[in-house]
């Protein structure tokens, strides 16, 4: 992905987080806690588990729908990150040749089952993380994390990084435009030029960052993240966390998929 | 080198989270005492800079990880270890949240591999004694390259250990080691050179931006005592030697590696591993879900799978769920049905919310 695409991507996620929906209205803490429990439950399944994981898809599906998020766009983002998981997963069928089932003349080996399991885990975990950021946004997320015990200096650091990312991007774009305007375009600029550019980009960004910070201090910034939406952990939030946790626990310990199948038979 | 969630067991993930959060809390406390006005904007902008630099990344086949410049050493040289650790933590958090680069559960592992090891191992033990008080010149460059290489080697080793301890990927750790270590040797060299170049440039163009150097110490590189340098070299040699001899001693043959793969991780002598065990112990004491079943981490030793070339055994391993056909059919049915139900629920909800909006 190019730098420009990265920019666009970050902006798009911010835009999604500014929407209004029952999920967006929930306190960030409730969402963080639920997603954390979800991740631990997904990861806790043994390596050959595939079908038992499927009921967990209810969580992202319901959240996607209730929050009104663009499903296709988020799935494309998941697919972009998928090559890594597929790479590792593909080693499993080659290395793990334990037969675990027989379908006609075809012997199912453990590797394929664990490959499917890895892909499913990947989809679940990545989707959950995407939904979390698309429903809270960086500011509410940091505020929620801070309320959950993250040191304030780290929360502020994350926000500053986020802010200065755009500063560096703007400075970089300006410098590249300068290079493009001053070069003839018939041969690419030498590599040494890029080293100088990187160093100067850093210097200029440091200067701008310090100016911005002084401006923030002058306007009364004291390290606290203030939000327009009041953050209260009420009964709705408690219900959200408790309800989903119970569901995850039922899927994990009660093997919901197996029971559903038995009931059908 | 960012690890993904899909290959990690919750035990390993939670252990590394606990360890990383403990270090984070310590660093935050340290910085609160340090009160330096230059620090906040510099931390933010350097974090953004490293974040941008890390976007240039390339996949390492077969490991589920990606290689790119880590930036941990650069930050440690510019800001000091505590601030550098927090900056790397923030970079990794944003990457995990916005770009799916490394998972959320794996964040603890990634913070440890890319933050703790360069900032608290490579920087104070290697770079500082080797570079002395200068930030430019051949000696500082050499120190940066050496520290970057060792830091990344330790990080790669730690990735391999964490993946193997999780037991989700079937990749044997010898193969993974042979894949990871040489690649990160190359990446480490590049990272070291880039770090040295940038630090040297900053030290000359903007010396006040380097917070780890007292503002008015004259640069007198040749009057420094030799002892810290020798000590650093000795440490580097010991680390390298330990690493190499450990690599050599893991000479797997057939059954031996498969048993070691499934049971004997705790016995591997390495600094990262000792932290693992200690953190695991700590986690056991403070476990949130004491009786929750986490079977993915250590499978029973009896289920040792033979290497790929051997003939397949007659009995399936006990942790394979599909040994009874009835169970597997019901499981399949239920799984597919729940999939359909989940999708349907989502669809219905979406239609309803859309109607409400119109």
Q: Scanning every residue of chain A, which has its alpha carbon at the shortest distance from the alpha carbon of B204?
A: A199
Per-residue DSSP letter, B269: -
Asked whether the predicted pLDDT for residue A173 surpasses 80, the reply is yes
Whether A178 and A214 map to the same domain: the answer is yes
Domain boundaries along the sequence of chain B: 5-285, 325-358
Whether A18 and A133 map to the same domain: the answer is yes
The 10s digit of each residue's pLDDT in A188-215 is 777 777 777 888 888 888 888 888 888 9
In a domain, A65, yes or no: yes
User: Residue B267's pLDDT is what?
Assistant: 37
Asked whether the predicted pLDDT for residue B196 surpasses 90, the reply is no
B20, B21, B24, B26 alpha-carbon torsion, rounded to 10°: -110
pTM for this entry: 0.68
Q: How far is B235 from chain A (nearest CA, A)?
A: 32
Q: Distance between CA A212 and CA A203 in Å, rounded? A: 14
Whether A89 and A217 map to the same domain: the answer is no
Integer angstrom CA distances of residue B251 from B173, B175, B260, B273: 11, 11, 11, 19
Is the Cβ pair B90, A64 closer than 8 Å?
Answer: no
Whether the complex's predicted ipTM is more than 0.90 is answered with no
In a domain, A229, yes or no: no
**Is A72 in CB contact (< 8 Å) with chain B?**
no
Asked whether the predicted pLDDT for residue B201 surpasses 70, the reply is yes
Whether A65 and A80 map to the same domain: the answer is yes
Whether A184 and A214 map to the same domain: the answer is yes
Residues 22-61 of A with CB under 8 A from B: 35-36, 39-40, 42-55, 57-58, 61
Is the Cβ pair B334, A262 closer than 8 Å?
Answer: yes
Q: Which fold has domain B5-285?
A: Arp2/3 complex 21 kDa subunit ARPC3 (1.10.1760)
The 10s digit of each residue's pLDDT in B270-283 is 334 444 445 444 44
**Is A112 in CB contact (< 8 Å) with chain B?**
no
Integer angstrom CA distances of residue B250 from B62, B181, B267, B308, B310: 21, 14, 12, 19, 20
Whether A42 and A108 map to the same domain: the answer is yes
Q: Distance between CA A73 and CA A38 in Å, rounded? A: 22
Pairing relationship of beta strands A99-103 and B58-60 according to DSSP bridges? unpaired
Whether A106 and A19 map to the same domain: the answer is yes
Q: Which domain holds residue A180?
A: 152-224
In a domain, A251, yes or no: yes
Whether A21 and A123 map to the same domain: the answer is yes
Is the Cβ pair A9, B103 closer than 8 Å?
Answer: no
How many structural domains comprise chain A? 2
Whether A60 and A118 map to the same domain: the answer is yes
Q: Scanning every residue of chain A, which has its alpha carbon at the shortest distance from the alpha carbon of B53?
A: A198
Q: Compute the mean pLDDT over every residue in chain B, rounded to the nearest whole number.
A: 68
């Amino acid at each position: 992905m190019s730098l420009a695409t990265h920019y666009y991507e970050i902006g798009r996620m911010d835009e999604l987080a500014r929407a209004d929906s029952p999920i967006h209205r929930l306190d960030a803490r409730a969402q963080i806690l639920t997603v954390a429990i979800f991740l631990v439950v997904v990861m806790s399944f043994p390596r050959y588990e595939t079908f038992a994981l499927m009921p967990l898809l209810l969580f992202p599906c319901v959240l996607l729908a209730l929050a009104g998020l663009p499903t296709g766009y988020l799935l494309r983002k998941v697919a972009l990150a998928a090559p890594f998981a597929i790479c590792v997963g593909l080693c499993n069928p080659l290395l793990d040749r334990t037969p675990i089932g027989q379908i006609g003349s075809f012997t199912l080996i453990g590797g394929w089952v664990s490959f499917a399991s890895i892909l499913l885990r990947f989809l679940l975990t990545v989707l959950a993380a995407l939904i979390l950021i698309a429903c809270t946004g960086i500011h509410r997320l940091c505020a929620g994390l801070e309320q959950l015990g993250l040191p304030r200096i780290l929360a502020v650091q994350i926000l500053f990084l986020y802010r200065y990312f755009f500063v560096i991007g703007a400075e970089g774009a300006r410098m590249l435009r300068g290079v493009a305007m001053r070069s003839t375009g018939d041969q690419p600029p030498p590599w040494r030029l890029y080293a100088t550019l990187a160093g100067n980009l850093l210097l200029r960004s440091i200067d701008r960052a310090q100016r911005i910070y002084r401006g923030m201090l002058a306007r009364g910034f004291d390290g606290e993240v203030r939000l327009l939406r009041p953050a209260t952990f009420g009964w709705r939030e408690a219900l959200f966390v408790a309800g989903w946790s119970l569901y995850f626990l039922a899927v994990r310990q009660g093997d919901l998929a197996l029971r559903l199948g038995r009931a059908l038979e | 080198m960012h690890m993904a969630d899909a290959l990690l067991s919750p035990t390993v993930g939670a252990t590394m989270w606990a360890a990383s959060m403990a270090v984070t809390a310590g660093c935050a406390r340290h910085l609160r005492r340090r009160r330096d006005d230059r620090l906040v904007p510099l931390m933010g902008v350097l974090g953004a800079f490293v974040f941008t630099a890390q976007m240039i990344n390339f996949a390492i086949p077969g490991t589920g990880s990606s290689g790119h410049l880590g930036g941990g050493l650069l930050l440690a040289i510019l800001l000091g270890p505590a601030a550098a650790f927090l900056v790397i933590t923030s970079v990794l958090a944003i990457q995990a949240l916005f770009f799916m680069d490394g998972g959320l559960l794996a964040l603890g592992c990634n913070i440890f591999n890319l933050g703790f090891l360069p900032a608290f191992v490579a920087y104070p033990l290697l770079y500082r004694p080797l570079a002395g008080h200068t930030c430019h010149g051949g000696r500082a460059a050499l120190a940066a390259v050496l520290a970057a290489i060792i830091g990344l080697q330790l990080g790669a080793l730690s990735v391999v250990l964490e993946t193997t301890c999780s037991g989700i990927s079937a990749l044997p750790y010898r193969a993974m080691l042979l894949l990871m270590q040489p690649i990160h040797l190359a990446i480490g060299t590049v990272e070291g050179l880039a770090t040295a170049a940038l630090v040297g440039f900053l030290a000359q163009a903007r010396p006040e931006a380097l917070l780890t150097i007292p503002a008015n110490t004259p640069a007198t590189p040749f009057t420094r005592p030799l002892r810290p340098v020798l000590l650093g070299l000795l440490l580097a040699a010991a680390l390298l030697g330990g690493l190499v001899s450990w690599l050599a001693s893991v000479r797997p043959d057939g059954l031996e590696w498969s048993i070691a793969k499934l049971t004997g991780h705790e016995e591997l002598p390495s600094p990262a591993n000792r932290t693992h065990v200690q953190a695991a112990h700590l986690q056991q004491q403070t476990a949130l879900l004491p009786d929750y079943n986490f079977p993915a981490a250590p499978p029973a030793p009896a289920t040792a799978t033979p290497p790929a070339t051997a003939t397949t055994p007659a009995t399936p391993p006990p942790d394979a769920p599909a040994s009874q056909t009835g169970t597997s059919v019901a499981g399949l049915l239920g799984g597919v049905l729940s999939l359909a139900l989940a999708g349907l629920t989502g669809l219905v909800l979406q239609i309803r919310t859309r109607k409400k909006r119109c």
